Amino acid sequence: MQILVGASRATLRLLAKTMVQTLYFHVLYRPFREQARPPRRCLTLSVQRV
């Protein structure tokens, strides 16, 4: 019975670690994506000026 409890603890740890890493990667990825592609407002303003 202890083996099953240990396995479930390991599974929960793995799931928690995966969720934390996923959130961390989203936080890191968001600024790069926003810098690479300007907002639509900037694009429409630059088109209107020309």
pLDDT by 10s per residue, the chain, length 50: 455 566 788 888 888 888 887 777 766 666 555 555 555 665 555 555 55
Q: How far apart are CA 19 and CA 21, in angstroms?
A: 5
What does the pLDDT read at residue 1?
Answer: 45
The 3-state DSSP class for residue 17 equals helix
Q: Has this prediction a pTM greater than 0.85? A: no
Q: How far apart are CA 24 and CA 35, in angstroms?
A: 18
What does the pLDDT read at residue 37?
Answer: 58
